[in-house]
Every structure is written in structure tokens, then in C-alpha cells.
């Protein structure tokens, strides 16, 4: 059983929902990334989504775009991200980590080499924004060879027949994009999310997690009522950037990250405390 499958099995057994923070590797500093990942786990993260810096992160809003730019300015690329993963696994062998990125760096490295190096470094899954299910066969073959999951996005505009195609190729969990547009945009419509998740679940037994638009504890809790997990990205990345820009040191950045995620964890756990 993969780390991701084991994580969701454990959460289900304990009637809990997954909390998945997203950060960009190398931001707000290369030297802080591993400690930041560990701090997020300590604060209640079940899975870490680690962004691979890229020059054209098309699905991202301005907050995460700037985070990619800062990480690239520090020289962080895919190989460097895998080196950070090796260091993380020296301290944590259990928390699943998925890489969130774009096709170009993976294809430049080569599917087989990427799969081998990522698996050896302790990566559990890949989420590639711009590889459609129609073109994923070669990559999936290599990922499955090393027992890595391939996470796919489903959007509010995804038609039912395409959901079925995505479900055939996906493993680990489905990532539902709760809003139309880029990360960090708009406000959540809980009823619309619930309707979409109901339709997605007619096509797959995989857990369904929701991201985009989750800004704080209350918004995370609202989504967790209907989802198997919540992803917080832009709000966390912005919080870390604010502390860094205000001159905060490493300790203050870690404290800010832990405080924000602990609040989200607490709100999410409240909805299942009564056994619902």
C-alpha cells in the first residue's frame, strides 16, 4: 500500500479529513524548506504538496506565481527539489509528499529517469497541471513501475465523460479545483462543491480533496464537510511571504506556518468530532 493510500485508510478509520498544505520548494528560502515541511507535519498536515518552481506556472494566481519566481531566483529547479526530498526523508518516513508542477521539467529529465529519481528521493506522487489524460500513458507506465501515484485535477467545468477518463488514469486521490480561474481567486460555493463531488464519486472510489479558495479555518471546515481532504495553498504561501518581507527570521516563519495550519486542522477536526 502506498503512503497516500495508507494515509487515507488511516484517516477514514479515525473519521478524519486530510489537511494538505501547499508550499513552493525554495520559498521563502532553500534552507528553510525541509524545516517548513516538518513544521507543517507537526501542526497537523497529513500530506505535503510541494511545488516545483517553474517559469510559467499557468494555473497559479499572482501569490504563487511570485513564490515560483523567488524560488527560481534562488536557483531551485527539479533536481534541487528532489535533493530537498532526500533531506526530508531523513527525518520523516511516513508523511506522503506529492510534487505539484508542470510537464516541461519532467519531460526534460525524461519520464523513466524522473520516476526513478523521484521514487528514490521519497516522492509519493506527481500532480502535473498540463499533461491531459489523453497524453499520460507513457508517464503513467513509468510512475506505476516505481509505485508512484498520479494525481489529476478536475475543475467545475469538467464534463462527466471527461471525469470518467480522468478517473481511469488517476491514482492516490482526485484533486477538485473548487473555483473557475487561477489559485487564490474567488470565494467558495459549498453547495456547488458538494454537487460536483457527488458527480465525481460516481466515477471513482478514490478520495476527493478540494483546493483553490481555502483561505482559513472556517473555509477549510466548510469544504471538509463534503470532501475527503482540503488543500490550502495561496493563503499559506502569502502568510509566509508576509512574515519574510517583514524581516521575520526562520523561527518566526516556522511559527507562522504552524499557527496557520494548526488553526485549519482544529476547524477541520471539529466537523467530525461528533462522528458525522
pLDDT, tens digit (0-9, with 9 covering 90-100), for 196-253? 999 999 999 999 999 988 999 999 999 999 999 999 999 999 999 999 999 999 999 9
- What's the confidence (pLDDT) of residue 58? 78
- How many angstroms separate the Cα of 59 from the Cα of each of 95, 193, 212, 263? 26, 19, 11, 27
Of the given ranges (55-59, 166-170, 184-188, 237-241), which has the lowest mean pLDDT? 184-188
Gyration radius (Cα) of the chain, Å: 17
In this predicted structure, the answer to whether residue 275 has a pLDDT above a threshold of 60 is no
- What's the confidence (pLDDT) of residue 187? 63
Q: Backbone dihedral region of 269: left (phi > 0), alpha (psi from -120 to 50 degrees) or beta? A: alpha
Confidence of residue 180 (pLDDT cuts 50, 70, 90): low
Confidence of residue 10 (pLDDT cuts 50, 70, 90): very high
Confidence of residue 271 (pLDDT cuts 50, 70, 90): confident
In this predicted structure, the answer to whether residue 49 has a pLDDT above a threshold of 50 is yes
Pairing of strands 48-51, 97-101: parallel
Percent of the chain past pLDDT 90, that is, above it, reads 89
Confidence of residue 56 (pLDDT cuts 50, 70, 90): confident
In this predicted structure, the answer to whether residue 64 has a pLDDT above a threshold of 50 is yes
Question: What is the arithmetic mean of pLDDT over 40-49?
Answer: 98
Question: What is the arithmetic mean of pLDDT over 135-146?
Answer: 96
Per-residue 3-state assignment (H helix, E strand, C coil) for the chain:
CCHHHHHHHHHHHCCCCEEEEEEECCCCCHHHHHHHHHHHHHCCCCCEEEECCCCCCCCCCHHHHHHHHHHHHCCCCHHHHHHHHHHHHHHCCCCCEEEEECHHHHHHHCHHHHHHHHHHHCCCEEEECCCCHHHCHHHHHHHHHCCCEEEEEECCCCCHHHHHHHHHHCCCCEEEECCCCCCCCCCCCHHHHHHHHHHHCCCCCCCEEEECCCCCHHHHHHHHCCCCEEEECHHHHHHHHHHHHCCCCHHHHHHHHHHHHHHHHHHHHHHHCCCC
- What's the confidence (pLDDT) of residue 179? 72
Instruction: Please give the mean pLDDT across all residues of the chain.
Output: 93
Confidence of residue 184 (pLDDT cuts 50, 70, 90): very low
Which of residues 59 and 22 earns the better pLDDT score?
Answer: 22
- What's the confidence (pLDDT) of residue 54? 94
Residue with cell 508550499: 23
Amino acid at each position: 500500500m502506498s503512503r497516500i493510500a495508507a494515509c487515507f485508510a488511516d484517516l477514514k478509520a479515525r473519521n478524519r479529513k486530510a489537511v494538505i498544505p501547499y508550499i513552493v520548494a525554495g520559498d521563502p528560502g532553500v534552507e528553510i524548506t525541509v524545516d517548513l515541511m516538518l513544521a507543517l507535519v507537526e501542526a497537523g498536515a497529513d500530506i505535503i504538496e510541494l511545488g516545483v518552481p517553474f517559469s510559467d506556472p499557468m494555473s497559479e494566481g499572482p501569490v504563487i506565481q511570485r513564490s515560483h519566481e523567488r524560488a527560481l531566483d534562488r536557483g531551485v529547479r527539479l533536481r534541487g527539489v528532489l535533493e530537498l526530498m532526500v533531506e526530508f526523508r531523513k527525518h520523516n518516513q511516513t508523511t506522503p509528499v506529492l510534487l505539484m508542477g508542470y510537464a516541461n521539467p519532467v519531460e526534460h529529465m525524461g519520464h523513466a529517469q524522473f520516476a526513478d529519481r523521484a521514487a528514490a528521493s521519497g516522492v509519493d506522487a506527481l500532480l502535473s497541471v498540463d499533461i491531459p489524460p489523453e497524453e499520460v500513458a507513457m508517464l503513467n507506465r513509468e510512475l506505476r513501475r516505481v509505485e508512484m501515484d498520479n494525481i489529476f485535477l478536475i475543475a467545475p467545468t469538467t464534463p462527466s465523460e471527461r471525469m470518467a477518463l480522468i478517473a481511469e488514469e488517476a491514482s492516490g486521490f482526485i484533486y477538485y479545483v473548487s473555483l473557475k480561474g487561477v489559485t487564490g481567486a474567488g470565494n467558495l460555493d459549498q453547495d456547488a462543491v458538494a454537487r460536483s463531488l457527488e458527480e465525481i464519486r460516481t466515477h471513482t472510489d478514490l478520495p476527493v480533496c478540494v483546493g483553490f479558495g481555502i483561505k482559513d479555518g472556517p473555509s477549510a471546515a466548510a469544504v471538509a464537510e463534503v470532501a475527503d481532504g482540503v488543500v490550502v495553498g495561496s493563503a499559506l504561501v502569502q502568510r509566509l511571504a508576509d512574515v519574510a518581507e517583514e524581516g521575520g527570521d526562520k523561527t518566526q516563519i516556522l511559527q507562522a506556518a504552524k499557527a496557520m495550519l494548526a488553526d485549519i486542522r482544529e476547524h477541520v477536526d471539529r466537523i467530525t468530532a461528533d462522528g458525522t
